[in-house]
Structure 1
Amino acid sequence: MSFIQEGPRIDYENFDKDKLITNTLKWLVSGKDTRQDIKNDLLRFYTEVLPLAHKWSEQAEAHPPRHIPYSPWGEKIDEIETHEAWKKLDALSATEGLIHLGHHEQNEHGRIHQFLKLFLFHPDSAFYTCPLAMTDGAAKLIKELLKMKHLDTDKRTLLNKAYKHITSNDPEQFWTSGQWMTEKSGGSDVGHTETRAIKEGNSYKLYGTKWFTSATTSQMTFTLARIQDEFGETIPGNKGLSLFYVKLRDDDGHLQGIRVRRLKDKLGTKALPTAELDFDGAKAELVGEQGLGIKNISHLFNITRIYNACTTIGSFKRLLDLAKDYSNKRVAFQKRLIDHPLHKRTLNEIEIEFEKCFKLTFYTVALLQQSENNEAADEEDHDTMALLRLLTPIAKLYTAKKNINATTELVESFGGAGYIEDTGIPRFLRDSQVFCIWEGTTNILSLDCIRAIQKENAYEVFYKKACEKLEEMDEDKASELKQRLDKLSTQLKSWSKDPDLMQYHARDLSFRIGDLCVDIFCSELEFS
Structure 2
Amino acid sequence: MLATHEVFNQPEPLVGYDLFADNAALRDALKFNAPGLDTAPLSALGARLGTAEMQTHARLANVHAPQLRTHDRFGRRVDVVEFHPSYHALMSAAVEAGLHGTPWAGAPVPPAAGEGTGAGSPHVLRAAGFMLFTELEPSVLCPISMTYAVTPALRSNAAIYRDWAPKLTSRLYNPQLKPWRDKPGVTMGMGMTEKQGGSDVRANTTRAEPAGSDDWGQRMRVTGHKWFFSAPMCDAFLILAQTNSGLSCLFLPRVLPDGSLNAIRIQRLKDKLGNKANASSEVEFEGATAWLVGDEGRGVPQILEMGTMTRLDCALGTGGLMRHALALALNHTSQRQAFGKRLIEQPLMRNVLADLALESEAATALAIRLARAFDRRGDAHEAAMARLLTPVAKFWICKRGSHFAQEAMECLGGNGYVEEGGEGVMARIYREMPLNSIWEGAGNIMALDLLRALRKADAAAALAQELAPARGAHAALDRMAAALPTRVEEMATETEARRLAQDVALAVQAALLYQSAPSAVFAAFCDSRLGGDWGQAFGTLGGRTDFDTLLARAMPR
Shorter-chain-normalised TM-score: which range?
0.7 to 0.9
Which 10-residue stretch deviates more, 251-260 or 115-124? 251-260
In structure 1, how many angstroms separate the alpha carbons of the residues matched to 2:457 and 2:147?
30
Q: Distance in 2 between matches of 1:417 and 1:521?
A: 35
Matches within 5 A, 1:81-230: 81-104=82-105, 105-143=117-155, 145=156, 155-171=157-173, 172-202=183-213, 203-228=219-244
Give the aligned partner of residue 19 of structure 1: 24
1:329 maps to: 335
- Give the letter for the 1:330 counterpart: R
Q: Deviations over 1:471-494 (max 9, x none)?
A: xx5x353x5433212222222322
Partner of 1:369: 375
Distance 1:5 1:278 in 2: 54
CA distance in 1, matches of 2:462, 2:469: 10
Kindly state the Cα deviation for residue 251 of structure 1 after the two structures are TM-superposed: 6.4
Q: 2:314 aligns with which of 308, 312, 319?
A: 308
Deviation at 1:458, TM superposition (A): 5.2
1:46 aligns with 2:46: yes
Q: What is the one-letter code of the residue matched to 2:439?
A: W
Residues in 2 aligned to 1:100 and 1:245: alpha-carbon distance in whole angstroms: 18
Q: Which residue of 2 aligns with 1:499?
A: none
Q: Which has the higher helix share?
A: 1
The 1:257/1:349 distance shift into structure 2, 3 A limit, reads: same
Aligned partner of 1:249 in structure 2 is 255
Residue number among 448, 464, 479 corresponding to 1:483 in the alignment: 479
- Aligned residue in 2 for 1:271: 277
Instruction: Check the 8 A contact 2:95/2:144 in 1, yes or no.
Output: no
Deviation readout 1:407-452 (Å, 9 max, x if unpaired): 1111122112222221412111111111111011011111111111
Shift of 1:94: 2.4
What is the alpha-carbon distance in structure 2 between the residues aligned to residue 333 and residue 253 of structure 1?
A: 67
Flag the 1:21–1:186 CA change in 2: closer, same or farther, 3 A. Answer: same
* 1:387 and 1:458 in contact (8 A); partners too: no
| Structure 2, gaps ≥5 residues long | 106-116, 174-182, 214-218, 519-552
SS in 2 for 1:350: helix
Q: 1:383 aligns with which of 377, 381, 384?
A: 381
How far apart are the structure 2 equivalents of 1:8 and 1:392? 39
Q: Aligned equivalents of 1:457 and 1:129: distance in 2?
A: 36
3-state SS of paired residue (2:514)? coil
Deviates more, 1:124-133 or 1:315-324: 124-133
**How far off its partner does 1:254 sit?**
6.0
SS of the residue corresponding to residue 393 of structure 1 reads helix
Q: In 2, distance between residues paired with 1:113 and 1:514?
A: 22
Cα distance between partner residues in 2 of 1:242 and 1:476: 49
Compute the displacement of 1:248 (Å).
1.4
**For 1:275, what is the secondary structure of its paired residue?**
strand
Does the 8 Å CA contact 1:327/1:337 hold for their aligned counterparts?
A: yes
> Counterpart in 2 of 1:231?
none
Q: 2:159, 2:222 → 1: CA distance? A: 22
Return the alpha-carbon distance in structure 1 between the equivalents of residues 432 and 35 of structure 2: 36
- Render the CA deviation track for 1:236-286: whole Å, top value 9, x for unaligned: xxxx21111111124697641111100111111111011100011111111
Distance 2:187 2:516 in 1: 34
Q: Aligned equivalents of 1:128 and 1:476: distance in 2?
A: 41
- Are the counterparts in 1 of residues 365 and 512 from structure 2 also a CA contact under 8 Å? no
Does the C-alpha gap of structure 1 residues 307 and 383 become closer, same or farther in structure 2, counting only changes over 3 Å?
same
Pair 504,417 (structure 1): closer, same or farther in 2 beyond 3 Å: same
In structure 2, give the amino acid aligned to 1:56: H
For normalisation by structure 2, the TM-score amounts to: 0.83
Q: CA–CA distance in 2 between the matches of 1:467 and 1:346?
A: 28
What is the CA-CA distance between 1:49 and the residue it aligns to? 4.9
Superposition pairs for residues 493-508 of structure 1, below 5 Å? 493-496=489-492, 502-508=493-499
> How far apart in 2 are the matches of 1:126 and 1:504?
33
Aligned to 2:267: 261
User: Does the Cα contact within 8 Å between 2:444 and 2:498 map onto a contact in 1?
Assistant: yes
Match of 1:244, SS state, is strand
* Residue of 408, 411, 421 corresponding to 2:419: 421
Greater Cα offset, 87-96 or 174-183: 87-96
Report the TM-score, using the length of structure 1 for normalisation: 0.87
Q: Distance in 1 between matches of 2:285 and 2:461?
A: 43
Looking at structure 2, the residues matched to 304 and 336 of structure 1 have their Cα atoms a distance apart, in angstroms, of 41
CA distance in 2, matches of 1:411, 1:243: 42
* 8 Å contact from structure 1 (residues 12, 46) kept in 2: no
Matched residue type, 1:401: K
User: 2:409 matched to which residue of 1?
Assistant: 411
Instruction: Specify every segment of 5 or more residues in structure 1 that has no aligned partner in the other structure, as ranges.
Output: 146-154, 229-234, 375-380, 497-501
Given that 1:213 and 1:276 are in contact with CA atoms closer than 8 Å, whether structure 2 keeps it comes out as yes
Aligned match for 1:518, one of 489, 502, 509: 509
DSSP-derived class of the 2:250 partner: strand
Aligned position for 1:67: 68
Do the aligned partners of 1:127 and 1:272 also contact (CA within 8 Å) in 2?
yes
Q: 1:300 to 1:246 in 2, by over 3 A?
A: same
Name the SS of the counterpart of 1:141 in structure 2.
Answer: helix
- Which secondary structure does the structure 2 equivalent of 1:504 belong to? coil
Residue-pair matches, total:
485
- Assess, with a 3 A threshold, how the Cα gap between structure 1 residues 198 and 138 changes in structure 2: closer, same or farther: same
Contact 1:467–1:482 at 8 Å: present in 2 too? Answer: no
Q: C-alpha distance in 2, partners of 1:113/1:12?
A: 23
> Are 2:396 and 1:398 equivalent residues in the alignment?
yes
